[in-house]
């Protein structure tokens, strides 16, 4: 993608318009410095120089049957990762409150395994419903796609 086309797309985004899938795919053909400058201009326009902090905690750890090459929790690797069942409500709430005090706006739970077992999912939902921190934290159960 040449500089003229890149500037046209950048201006579309700055004017609140969407770019097409086709155009988005072809951004990879742009000069990297030009693309970086355009992306930074868009970022500054929409976000200024601020950012939000999000945090994750490992709510269930280890002995995962998946073979993700990047993850120390896989049972396929020999790691010193702690192994524990789904955390208790109090532990999660304490971590969420700690994060909120530090300015974290989004707090997510991640767990080992492809998905939560029903008992752990029920525990997570029950725990969320009890939390007093709901007003300033958004909770995500990543593995099962439950988003609050």
Chain segment 37-66, per-residue pLDDT in tens: 999 999 999 988 887 788 888 888 877 777
Residues 96 and 54: beta-carbon distance below 8 Å:
no
102 pLDDT band, cuts 50/70/90, is confident
Torsion 63-114-123-106 (CA) sign: positive
Neighbour count for residue 23 (Cβ, 10 Å)? 15
Maximum Cα interatomic distance, the chain, rounded to a whole number of Å: 56
Residues 57 and 22 in one domain: no
Residues 117 and 111: beta-carbon distance below 8 Å:
no
Residues 64 and 111 in one domain: yes
Residues 76 and 140 in one domain: yes
CA count, 13 A, side-chain hemisphere, 2: 1
Counted domains in the chain: 2
Residues 58 and 35 in one domain: no
Residues 67 and 27 in one domain: no
Helices vs. strands in the chain: H and E counts, helices first:
5, 4
Cα angle at 125 between 147 and 118, to 5 degrees? 105
Residues 31 and 62 in one domain: no
Instruction: Show the domain range for 30.
Output: 3-47
2 pLDDT band, cuts 50/70/90, is very high
Residues 61 and 129 in one domain: yes
Q: Which two tokens stand for residue 147?
A: 């988003």
């Amino acid at each position: 993608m040449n500089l003229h086309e890149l500037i046209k797309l950048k201006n579309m985004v700055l004017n609140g318009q969407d770019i097409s899938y086709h155009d988005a795919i072809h951004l990879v053909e742009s000069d990297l410095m030009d693309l970086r400058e355009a992306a930074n201009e868009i970022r500054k326009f929409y976000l200024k120089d601020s950012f939000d902090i999000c945090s994750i905690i490992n709510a269930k750890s280890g002995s995962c049957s998946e073979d993700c090459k990047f993850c120390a929790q896989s049972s396929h690797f020999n790691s010193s990762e702690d192994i524990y069942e789904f955390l208790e409500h109090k532990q999660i709430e304490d971590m969420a409150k700690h994060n909120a005090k530090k300015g974290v706006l989004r707090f997510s739970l991640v767990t080992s395994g492809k998905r939560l077992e029903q008992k752990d999912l029920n525990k997570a939902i029950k725990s969320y419903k009890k939390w007093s921190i709901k007003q300033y934290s958004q909770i995500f159960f990543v593995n099962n796609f439950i988003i609050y």
